[in-house]
Amino acid sequence: MKIRTLFDTHPQTFSFEFFPPKTAEDGEALFDRARELQQLGASFCSVTYGAGGSTRKNTIDLVCRFQADLGLIGMAHLTCVGHSQTELSDILVELKDRGVENLMCLRGDPPRGETAFTPAPDGFAHAADLVALARRSGDFCIGVAGYPEAHPESVNALQDLQHLKTKVDCGVDFVTTQLFFDAQDYFDFVARARQMGIRQRIIPGIMPILNYRQIVRFTRMCGASIPLALQERLETVAEDTDAVFEIGVDWAWQQCEALLAGGAPGIHFYTLNRSRATQLIFERLRQSSVSVLLPPEA
Q: Catalytic residue positions? A: 17
DSSP state of 142: E
Query: What are the angstrom distances between the C-alpha of 151 and each of 148, 155, 224?
Result: 8, 9, 8
Q: DSSP 3-state assignment of 109?
A: coil
In sequence order, the 6+-apart residues with CB closer than 8 A to the CB of 123 are 80, 82, 83, 84, 85, 88
CB 176 within 8 A of CB 145: yes
Question: In the beta sheet, which residues pair with residue 208?
Answer: none
Rg (CA), the chain: 18
Dist CA 56 CA 118 (whole Å)? 20
CB 118 within 8 A of CB 110: yes
Dist CA 67 CA 108 (whole Å)? 25
Dist CA 74 CA 44 (whole Å)? 6
Dist CA 187 CA 199 (whole Å)? 14
Angle (nearest 5°) at CA 152 between 154 and 165 = 45
